[in-house]
Structure 1
Amino acid sequence: MIRWLDRAALAATLVLPAFIMHGRAVAEVLIGIIGLAFLLRCAALRDWSWLRHGWVKVGAAWWAWVIVCSLPGIGIGGTKSLLQALALGRFLVLVAALEHAVLAAPAARQWLQRVLTACSLYIAGQSLLQAATGRNLQGFPRYGEGELTGPFLHPRAAAPLSRLLFPTLLPPVARLLNNGIAAKLGAAALTIAGIGTIVLIGQRMPVLLTLLGLVVSGLMLRRLRALVATAILAGALLLAASVVVSPPTFYRLVTKFSAQMEDFPNSDYGLIGARAAFIALDHPIFGQGYDGFRNVCEDPHYFRAWSRSTDYAADGGGARICTIHPHNHYLEALTEAGFPGLLLFCALVVAWLRGLLRGIGRDPDPLRVGLFVAALIQEWPIASASSFTAIEIGGFFFLMLGYGLAIARAAPVRDTLQGRDAASSTAPISPSAGRPIT
C-alpha cells in the first residue's frame, strides 16, 4: 500500500506543473491527491513526527488563527469564508508531503528538476516566439499595452518565469563556468537570454524581482558575481534599446512605471494599499476573515485616502479600485487575520526561508541557492503580487518550496557524499529510497 501511495503522489507531483499553467481545476485535484496520499501514508506507518518540525508548527498556528478569524460572527464572509479558510491547509500539507515523503529520494528530485526546466523553456520559448511573430503557438497576440503573454491569453508569463528562472538557470550556468572559454561564453549567453526574456515580456514587478534575485544569487555564489554584473548590465542595455526594438516594453517598464512612482499614493496600487490599511486599522485583531479584502472593499466606510492624495482621490478611489485581493501577501494576511495573523504569517515565511538555508554551507549548491531565491522573491514584502494561494503562481511557489526543503532535509547525507546524491537518476522510487519521516 505504501508503495502505491508513494507512486501516486510522485506521479501527481510530476504532472502538476503542466496543470498549474493550463488547468487550474486539475491542479487543485492533484494537490489534493498528493496531500491525501501523504496523510494516508503517515496513518499507515503511524508516523506523524513531521508535525513537530518548526515551520509546520508555525504554519499550523497561522492557519488556525485564519480559521478563527473566518468564523461566522467574527469574519465578514460567513460560511463560504470559513470553508475557504479550512481549505487553506491543503497548501501546508502539500509542502510537508513534498519535503518529508514525495521528494525524499534523489531520483524523484531529479525528475522534478527536469519538469521545472521544461516549464521554464516552454514559457520563455513562447514569449520569444510572440515577440518575434506577434503571436504564440495558440495564436494569442500581445496583450493590451504590448505585454508578452507567453503561452497564456493574459499577461501572466513573467511572474512564474521569474521564479522558475533561478533554480533552472543557476545549476547549468555554474557547471559551464567550471569549464573552458567556450563554456563560459555559453554560460553568459544563457544568463543574458534568461534575463532578456524577462525584460522583453514587459511586466514591471517581475523585472524588479529578477534584479533582486540576481543580486542575491551573486552574493551567495561568489563564482557567479562577474556574470551577474554582466547580466544586469546587459539587461539595462536591452531596456534602453527597447525604445526602438520593442516600444511596448519601454512604455511599460520605463514610461508608465516612472509615472506611477511619481505619484504612487494616487496610483491604483497606492489606493489599494490605503484601502487595505484602513480595513486593518478598523479590525486590528481579527481582520475580516478569509477573503476579507474582497468582501468589504466596496463598503463606503473604507473610502478613505492617504493624506498626500489629491482631491480626485479623496475617496480613496471609491469602488473603482476594488480587486479580489490587495496585491500584497502581507496586506492580504493583515486584512484577513489582523495584526496577529500578519505576525504569524511573517514568522512562517521566516521559518520557510531558514529551512531552505539549513546546512547550505559557504560554497552552496547553485540549485539550493536558486530555490531559496525563488522563495525570497515570491515573498518579498515590498512587491505587488497575486493572491497568496493563486494557483498559477502560488502553485509553483509551494512546489519549489517543498522541493527546496526536501533537499535541505537531505543535506547531511549530501555532505557525506561530497555534494552528490547517493542514487542515480535511474534509481527506483520506493518507500525505502529516501529518508524516513522524522
Structure 2
Amino acid sequence: MIAATGTRFIPRLEQTALVCVLLVPLLLMHAHGIAEVAIAIADVCFLLRSALLRDWDWLKARWLWFSAAWWIWLVVCSLPIPALHLGEGGLRSLVQAVTTVRFLVFVAAMEFLVLRSRPARRWMYGLIAASVAWIALNSVVQYAIGWNLIGWPPGPEGVLTGPFGKPRAGPPMALIIPPAVVPPVAALLSRKGLRPAVGAYALLAASLVLMVMIGQRMPLVLTVFAFVIVACLMRRLRPVVLTAAVVGGLMLAASPVLAPNAYYRLVDKFSNQLEHFAVSPYGQLYARAWEVGIRNPVTGMGFDGFETGCQRPQYFRPTFDGSQPDGGGAKICWHHPHNHYLQALDDGGFIGLLLFSAMGIAWLVPLARGLGRDSDPLRAGLFAVVCAQVWPIQSTSAFTSMPMGGWLFLLLGWGLAEARHRSR
C-alpha cells in the first residue's frame, strides 16, 4: 500500500523537477538566491523519485565517481579538527563543502531524468537562446543610448552590463552564446542559396562583435576559444569561424573610434597587465594562492581555503618577480584566487587539485563521446563551453559561486543529457 501510494507521487516529482530546472536559466539572470532554491527542490525531487522507485542506476556514472571523490575529499579537508590541521575555516567552511554536493546531484538529475525527453531539451535550448537575446538586446541598447532597458548606465570603464546593474554580462555570455548560436548557424549553412549562408556568417560574426563591445577580456577570450573548438569539431563551420574572427579583429582595430572604452580594457589595459603581470592584481593573487597551497600541501585549508589564509602574514610571500616582498600584503585579498585550479589546491592540497583535475576530464569524456568531423552542432557547442571553462590558464570566479557556478553546472547537465539521449 505504501509503495503504491508513493508511486502515485512519481509524476508530480518529475514534473516539479522539470519546472525547477527550466526556471534556473531565468533565475540565474536576476534572482540568484531563488535559483539556489530551485536547484535544491530539483535535487530533492530527483532523490525522492530514486528512493521510491529504488532506481539508483545513475550512481554508476563514471563522471559522478570522480566528482564524488573530489567532493568527499573537500569535506574531509573542511572538517574543523585543529589537532589534524583540518578545516581552518571553521564550521562555515564545512557547511559550504557539504552543500556543494547539490550541484553534482543537480547535474545527475538533468542527465538521467529531467532532460531525457526531446521536448524538455528543446525548452532548455529556447530558454538559453532567450537569455542570450535578452543580454544582447540590453547591451546594444546600452551602447547606443547610454543605458539599458532597465535604466542602468554602463559599468566602470564603460563596460556594457547588459540587463544587469554591474559588469556581469560577459561571463554568462561566454557560456551560453556557443550552444545558442552554433545550431542555427549550422542549420543555415545546410540550406541552399546565398541568403542562408550570409545569415550564418552574420550571426556568428555578430556574436563576436558583441563580445568585443561588452569589453570584458576573459569572456571574449573564452568565447573565441570555444568557437575554435567548435571549428575543430565541425569542418563546415571552419570558414564561418575564421570569418567571424576576422570581423571581430577588425572591430577591435576600429574600437578606438567605435568603442574607446572597450579598446582601453581589451588592448591597453590587457597588454599592460600582461607586461607587468607579477605586480598586477591577478599576479599577486596567484602568488599568494600558490604560497597557501605549498604550505598546506596535503589537505589545504578546507573550503574557501584561499580566503582563510590570504590575510595571514605567514603567507605574505614576494610576488613572482620579487619586486614586492610582502606580495601586496592583506590589501590584495579576495574571496577566491580567480583560478579554479589554485582554488582546488588551497581547498584540498595537491590531492584535491589532482581530484579536481580528474573530475574535469571525467566530465569531458562523456561530453565528447560521438563527436567527430561532422558533430552535432548543439553537442559541439556544449562540449566547447565546458572545455573552455575547465581550461586551467584563465581568470575565473569561484568554482561554485552563483551565478557562474549555476551556469556551468546547468550547461554541464544539459550537455550530458544531450550526449546520453540525443542519439536515441
- Aligned equivalents of 2:320, 2:157: Cα separation in 1: 31
Runs of 4+ in 1 over 6 A off after TM superposition: none
Which residue is equivalent to 1:90?
102
> Helix, strand or coil: the match of 1:145?
helix
- Give the direction of change, closer, same or farther, for the CA distance of 1:362–1:234 in structure 2 (3 Å limit): closer
- Paired position in structure 2 for 1:266: 279
Query: 2:34 maps to which residue?
Result: 26
Partners of 2:10 and 2:369 lie apart in 1 by 29
CA contact (8 A) 1:359 1:411 kept: no
Which deviates the most, 241-250 or 135-144?
135-144
1:272 maps to amino acid: L
2:5 is matched with none
The residue correspondences of 1:216-231 to structure 2 (distance < 5 A) are: 216-231=229-244
**Mapped partners of 1:372, 1:133: distance in 2:** 36
**1:339 counterpart residue number:** 350
The CA deviation at 1:30 is 0.2
Q: Does 1:297 align with 2:310?
A: yes
Q: Which has the higher contact order (CA 8 A, sep 6+)?
A: 1
Give the whole-Å Cα distance in 2 for the aligned partners of 1:44 and 1:362.
Answer: 43
Q: In the aligned structure 2, how far is the partner of 1:267 from the partner of 1:391?
A: 25
For each residue in 1:89-129, what CA deviation from the matched residue of structure 2 results, as whole angstroms up to 9, or x when unmatched?
A: 00000000000000011111011110010001011111111
Q: Whole-Å Cα distance in 1 between the matches of residues 72 and 137 of structure 2?
A: 42
Instruction: Work out which of the residue numbers 46, 57, 64 in structure 1 matches 2:54.
Output: 46
Residue of structure 2 in register with 1:128 after alignment? 140
> What stretches of structure 2 of length at least 5 have no aligned partner?
1-8
Match of 1:5 in 2: 13
| Contact 1:359/1:412, CA 8 A, preserved across alignment | no
Alpha-carbon separation, structure 1, partners of 2:126 and 2:395: 29
**Structure 1 position 287 matched with structure 2 position 295:** no
Whole-angstrom distance in 2 between the partners of 1:275 and 1:251? 28
Distance 2:304 2:294 in 1: 17
The aligned amino acid for 1:327 is H
Alpha-carbon distance in 2 for matches of 1:286, 1:129: 49
**1:369 is aligned to 2:380:** yes
Instruction: Give the count of matched residue pairs.
Output: 411
DSSP 3-state at the match of 1:391: coil
* Residue of structure 1 equivalent to 2:173: 161
Q: Distance in 2 between matches of 1:208 and 1:265?
A: 20
Aligned position for 1:433: none
Q: What's the RMSD between the two structures over aligned residues?
A: 0.9
Give the alignment's TM-score, normalised by structure 2.
0.96
Task: Work out the CA distance in 1 between the residues paired with 2:259 and 2:423.
Answer: 48
Check if 1:202 corresponds to 2:210: no
Task: Map 1:334-413 onto structure 2 (within 5 A).
Answer: 334-413=345-424
The answer to whether the 8 Å contact 1:272/1:326 transfers is yes
Partner of 2:268: 255
Which residue identity lines up with residue 305 of structure 2 in the other structure?
G
Cα deviation for residue 411 of structure 1 reads: 4.5
Q: Which residue of 2 aligns with 1:146?
A: 158
Q: TM-score, normalised by structure 1?
A: 0.93
Unaligned runs of 5+ in 1: 414-438
For residues 219 and 92 of structure 1, the distance between their equivalents in structure 2, rounded to whole angstroms, comes to: 29
Contact preservation (8 Å) 2:307, 2:333: yes
- CA–CA distance in structure 1, aligned partners of residues 330 and 402 of structure 2: 26
Distance 2:122 2:420 in 1: 15
Identity %: 49
Q: Which amino acid aligns with 1:122?
A: W
User: In the alignment, which residue of structure 1 is the partner of 2:44?
Assistant: 36
Q: Secondary structure at the match of 2:222?
A: helix
In structure 2, what residue type is equivalent to 1:146?
G
On the 8 A contact 2:235/2:373 being kept in 1, the answer is: no
Q: Could you say which residue in structure 2 is the equivalent of 1:107?
A: 119
Tell me the amino acid that sits aligned with residue 57 of structure 1.
Answer: W
2:6 aligned residue: none
Q: Distance in 2 between matches of 1:257 and 1:309?
A: 22
Shift of 1:359: 2.2
Change (3 A) 1:254 1:307: closer
1:307–1:111 Cα change, 3 Å: closer
Higher helix proportion: 2
CA contact (8 A) 1:50 1:96 kept: yes
Change (3 A) 1:307 1:27: closer
Contact 1:126 1:151 in 2 (8 A): yes
